[in-house]
Structure 1
Amino acid sequence: TKDALFTILHDLRPQDHFNIIGFSNRIKVWKDHLVSVTPDNIRDAKIYIHHMSPSGGTDINGALQRGIRLLNNYVAHNDIEDRSVSLIIFLTDGKPTVGETHTPKILNNTKEAARGQVCIFTIGIGNDVDFKLLEKLSLENCGLTRRVLEENDAGSQLIGFYDEIRTPLLSDIRIDYPPGFVEQTTRTLFPNYFNGSEIIIAGKLVDKKIDQLHVEVTASNSKKFVVLKTDVPVEPREVGNDVTGSLRPKGEGKDPNHMERLWSYLTMKDLLSSWLQGRDEQEKEQLRRKAQALAVNSHFLTPFTSMRLKKPALQTEQLEKSTGMAAATGPETVMQSLRGTSERPGPALKKPHNPRIKVSKTSADGDPHFVVDFPLSKLTVCFNIDGQPGDILRLVSDHVHAGVTVNGELIGAPAPPNGHKKQRTYFRTITILVNKPKRSYLEITPNRVILDGGDRLVLPCNHSVVVGSRGLEVTVSANANVTVTIQDTIAFVILIHLYKKPAPYQRNHLGFYISNSKGLSSHCHGLLGQFLNQDAQLAEMPVQPSKNLISLSPSLPDLSETSEAVLKVKGHQVPVVWKQRKIYNGEEEIDCWFTRNAARLLDGEYRDYLATHPFDSETAFGLGLSGVH
């Protein structure tokens, strides 16, 4: 639970206000009011969370009532921004055992206190939680629910969660169509629309021959009332729109009735939500039967259906053909797919191939050592940055134009004996936020890769695999590297450094290499990104070294480590010295011009390259994204 709280704290924005409430057999509030997001407050909050300890019991009702009162008091006594929203992120790993424990009473108390003004997002951790209660709390209070598996790291499973809910754009959204034009539509009323979320409605056209459909959208934006009217072109269908037709895919894994399955999926979600919120048993039974029939016909595994395997098969294709659906009252876990029964749900898993990785010089690896290649000038420049453990460095910032952000979090280690440094720092985590064409989050550590974009995958780094999803391809070469390819125009290679018996000053860590930067824009920034579209020149060549030195590179004259020059890049004049540096786990040795003072080479100051959280896409150079996430 603490890891989950730390993850959410990392995602808070400077304009947010927050508080922390602990609840066991009694309610403990960190502050008596909401506080602003500042480095000091975040630090103090982490310390408070670190010292929190359970004392038995779970007072869910009392915690929610206290949280709602805190929010209402803040709204009543402060000038609130137009697009702000009051929300509670409610994390628990238990069932109500203290105070009010009757589920209907907890739901009624919460709904009456919130009055539609507070959205409640619930997170259930582990197997002992009352997940049905959490689902109902969220459904009745304009929120959503997420389940965190006990055996997995809670923090990693909640990466990007706050990003999804922190920026409300519209409320009370209603979508209307002309009478008699559509039927069997799914949900058309929505309490909120958050930046980065989506609203999907499916239905059936009454007249299949119309070429356009009129749509009216009404919503509220704080004190404003928004009305959008438009005519949407209707593309001709190659297959019929009959919902009762066959839903099995045909051909090579393609589903000719994909829209019908989408309609079934959304209708199923609406039925499940209504069933969960229902209070009348007769009404709930009707909803259950309707959902059950739709699930069996559509081949969805739901709480009302079960999957039946006729017999074990030797081949995967035989196994898929032997599956069937049956009506049931369980199980609890919901697994659904919009694809056909013979197609894998989620991102496409492919057989790993022998990766032929193009080694790039432009990189950040080791302690960390930075290397920048200027191919037009046939020059390579290198520099070091000594950060602090826990710092998150902006490596590539091109969120607005290319939709890509890369950050790296540092981990500390003692310096080797007799070294000139007091400590070493390495990259413990590389995080990549991709915003085009669809938003995806990627977190890479020496042990695993977490891909969160539509579907969530956790890939161990000790197995080779290729995963493709939403214009993103991730290739894991077991215990060696991870290659991330975006739209075939951007590629990053993350090198995995593992130690079987690490010395005290060694840590498992990562190296970051830019393999393909064609898709990055001229506005790209970051510690590495700012150099990708730049040229560099040597203002003066070094004096020819003594005759006993030999040439080490055809592109450079004979040089020694005492050879000095002045580098001109981006309007800066930086003293440099020639040296050799090993990259890519020591497999390649390069010649580079090393600057001892990286500050003279970079735009701004070191603090300008510090991200507030792993997926922070804003920059200090006016190139980030401040209103869209």
Structure 2
Amino acid sequence: TNINGALQTGAKLLNDYIAQNDIDARSVSLIIFLTDGRPTVGETQSSKILSNTKEAIRDKFCLFTIGIGNDVDHKLLERMALENCGMTRLFQEDEDAASHLKGFYDEIGTPLLSDIRVDYPEGDVEQVTQNFFPNYFNGSEIIIAGKLINRTSDKLHVEVTASNSKKYILLKTDVAIDLPSRNDIRGVPGLEDGKGDNNYIERAWSYLTIKELLNSRLKSDDIQEKDKLMEKAKSMALAYNFVTPFTVLKMKEAGLHSEPPQEEFISPSTDGIGEKVQSLQGHKAPPGIRRGQDKQRIKISKTSADGDPHFVIDFPSSKLSVCFNIDGEPGDILRLVSDHKESGVTVNGQLIGAPAPPNGHKKHRTYFSTITILSNKPERSYLEITPKRVILDDGERLVLSCGRSAVVRSRSLEVSISAFSNITVTIRDSISFVILIHHYKKPAPYQRNHLGFYISNSKGLSSDSHGLLGQFLSHEVKLLQESLNTSRQEAGQNQTEALKASPTNTLKVKGRLVPVVWKQRRIYNGQQEIECWFAKNNADKLIDGSYQDYLASHPFDTGTSFGTINSL
């Protein structure tokens, strides 16, 4: 049996395949090594086989080992799996190997995530068990235990990071701590009647810790370190009444006494898929995560569509802002940004209706209930955003709650959720949109939970971009000189005040003359007040055509040019 040669060949084949192919996001690269013997051909020293295997794999994928029969080196297979983020299975000769292999494949046949890491604030927990898991498969589970340092707090901050070949995900939440019920034993056999140790959560922590100590001992080549790890495991096993290969089993009733084998390795060591040993201490957040970053105020452009909906266009070079309203109908889908042909980006917003406020001039109000974003380059990604959730579909569907902070990052797209506040969508690092979430705790009859859309960075959009907002991103406007001259005559030195008071101001936009009046508006959820020139009558003469030309037939319609709508 040439174990070393087989593993070297397998690792080379997989490394070459990964280097030459675009790996599907739903796949996980791994090696399954099956043997019924010991190393007898080629390299036969276990230590050399272990080092050669680790060098060949280089943490690029995991190694899963399966031994069949009694003539296998159990320790070698287990250690190879442990050192390469895999697990091992051992089958006896008289067992049904085919059914066992099928069951094993069922365990790892549906990979969901890779590199899962769960972090807690360093000063809140200690003695945390394994918190990094190379793979998470459908049907597997992740269990982490630790001790609370701050027992007066009513919540614990948790951050979970994970990825696959195309996405990076960061989830943040605060978990409520209910100390009186942490060891609720109702429905637990043997504990509910008070006959057993009811602190089973602490026992679970000790069980996981003992497993990690024994795994560390198996992987270590240092005799002194192995002895220390063994003593720690023995001490904890005796304190919590667990049996290990290094503790004595005493049966009081039968008076039996058995000595453990000297080098037998505890079988639960590789029950979990892809285990890695962690040090027994609180863990810091991974690089790149900043505590409290969700509370930072976002700095974005005034160019936006928010509220009823109220549109604002900022023209920095002209030092002017222009605003207008669109009185659409509930159910209308408005094209906000259409640049599908050039940058591959389309943004649409769907309206929801609400009754008009009392004594108002409108027959009803409308708000954005859904914002949809399509990015078609370099690969197609769909985003559907509502006040409750974000759906990302780029070949696989991911649903995120707007009530939990999270970051999802793929090759060309990043979605960052600040819980109950906003969603930032960044495309190829050159296009950024911010969607504000408006929630009402006690909404009036004319209020609805809705969204606001803001353009933060438009550098990646082309000069041919269109849509109710997109058509102005590469243009400028100016007040006509006639308006300026009139204001000077009327107000002398106080030109600005005269412009504000005049009912006959005119803007020149794309060669068109647009009558405007001066207004003040609040944006960013009312946090900032701006001054703008308001174009009446659904932005008549300000926008190309009329607002009906910006209606899409469904949320992911794309406009390649004005007046033309394509469907994907």
- Smaller-chain TM-score bracket: 0.5 to 0.7
Aligned residue type for 1:544: S
Does structure 1 residue 444 correspond to structure 2 residue 382?
Answer: no
**Residue number among 403, 406, 416 corresponding to 1:475 in the alignment:** 416
Does structure 1 residue 398 correspond to structure 2 residue 202?
Answer: no
Could you report, residue by residue, the CA deviation over 1:271-321 in whole angstroms, capped at 9, with x for unpaired residues?
Answer: xxxxxxxxxxxxxx999776656667xx55589xxxxxxxxx977771446
Shift of the 243–558 alpha-carbon distance from structure 1 to 2, 3 Å rule, reads farther
Cross-structure match for 1:493: 434
Q: 1:393, 1:409 within 8 Å by CA — same for their partners in 2?
A: yes
Distance in 2 separating the partners of 1:207 and 1:258: 11
Q: 2:168, 2:407 within 8 Å by CA — same for their partners in 1?
A: no
Cross-structure match for 1:596: 536
Q: 2:162, 2:169 within 8 Å by CA — same for their partners in 1?
A: no
Shift of the 533–315 alpha-carbon distance from structure 1 to 2, 3 Å rule, reads farther
Distance in 2 separating the partners of 1:565 and 1:250: 75
Distance in 2 separating the partners of 1:569 and 1:455: 43
Aligned residue type for 1:595: A
Distance in 2 separating the partners of 1:403 and 1:625: 13
Shift of 1:421: 0.7
**Residue number among 479, 487, 502 corresponding to 1:544 in the alignment:** 487
**Residue number among 461, 471, 475 corresponding to 1:530 in the alignment:** 471
Shift of 1:204: 11
Shift of 1:378: 1.3
Shift of the 324–558 alpha-carbon distance from structure 1 to 2, 3 Å rule, reads closer
Cross-structure match for 1:570: 510
Does structure 1 residue 256 correspond to structure 2 residue 80?
Answer: no
Shift of the 576–208 alpha-carbon distance from structure 1 to 2, 3 Å rule, reads closer
Aligned residue type for 2:437: I
Shift of 1:359: 2.8
**Residue number among 130, 136, 148 corresponding to 1:318 in the alignment:** 130
SS at match of 2:540: helix
Shift of the 321–608 alpha-carbon distance from structure 1 to 2, 3 Å rule, reads closer
Shift of 1:404: 0.9
Aligned residue type for 1:525: H
Aligned residue type for 2:308: D
Cross-structure match for 1:583: 523
Cross-structure match for 1:69: none
Aligned residue type for 1:318: Q
Cross-structure match for 1:353: 293
Distance in 1 separating the partners of 2:431 and 2:361: 38
Q: 2:303, 2:454 within 8 Å by CA — same for their partners in 1?
A: yes
Shift of 1:417: 0.9
Aligned residue type for 1:578: W
SS at match of 1:560: helix
Shift of the 621–318 alpha-carbon distance from structure 1 to 2, 3 Å rule, reads same
TM-score normalized by the length of structure 2: 0.52
SS at match of 1:608: helix
Could you report, residue by residue, the CA deviation over 1:473-511 in whole angstroms, capped at 9, with x for unpaired residues?
Answer: 122222221111111111111111111111111111111
- RMSD, aligned CA: 4.4
**Residue number among 401, 410, 418 corresponding to 1:460 in the alignment:** 401
SS at match of 1:499: coil
Distance in 1 separating the partners of 2:136 and 2:335: 49
Shift of 1:606: 2.3
Distance in 2 separating the partners of 1:209 and 1:444: 40
Shift of 1:457: 2.5
Could you report, residue by residue, the CA deviation over 1:155-196 in whole angstroms, capped at 9, with x for unpaired residues?
Answer: xxxxxxxxxxxxxxxxxxxxxxxxxxxxxxxxxxxxxxxxxx
Distance in 1 separating the partners of 2:558 and 2:58: 36
Distance in 2 separating the partners of 1:505 and 1:486: 35
Q: 2:355, 2:364 within 8 Å by CA — same for their partners in 1?
A: yes
Aligned residue type for 1:347: Y
Distance in 1 separating the partners of 2:434 and 2:136: 42
Shift of the 612–316 alpha-carbon distance from structure 1 to 2, 3 Å rule, reads farther
Shift of 1:373: 1.0
Shift of 1:347: 3.5
Shift of 1:453: 2.0
Distance in 1 separating the partners of 2:360 and 2:345: 37
Cross-structure match for 1:383: 324
Cross-structure match for 2:44: none
Q: 1:564, 1:578 within 8 Å by CA — same for their partners in 2?
A: no
Q: 1:574, 1:601 within 8 Å by CA — same for their partners in 2?
A: yes
Distance in 2 separating the partners of 1:485 and 1:366: 23
SS at match of 2:298: coil
The structure with higher relative contact order (CA 8 Å, sep 6+) is 2
Aligned residue type for 2:520: Q
Distance in 2 separating the partners of 1:382 and 1:599: 12
Shift of the 615–549 alpha-carbon distance from structure 1 to 2, 3 Å rule, reads farther
Q: 1:397, 1:624 within 8 Å by CA — same for their partners in 2?
A: no
Distance in 2 separating the partners of 1:472 and 1:456: 14
Does structure 1 residue 371 correspond to structure 2 residue 312?
Answer: yes
Aligned residue type for 1:446: P
Aligned residue type for 1:579: K
Shift of the 288–496 alpha-carbon distance from structure 1 to 2, 3 Å rule, reads same
Distance in 2 separating the partners of 1:423 and 1:616: 26
TM-score normalized by the length of structure 1: 0.48
Larger Rg: 2
SS at match of 1:519: coil
438-447 or 378-387, which deviates more: 438-447
Cross-structure match for 2:459: 518
* Structure 1 spans left out of the alignment, 5+ residues: 1-202, 214-231, 233-239, 261-284, 304-312, 326-330, 336-341
Cross-structure match for 1:155: none
Aligned residue type for 1:572: R
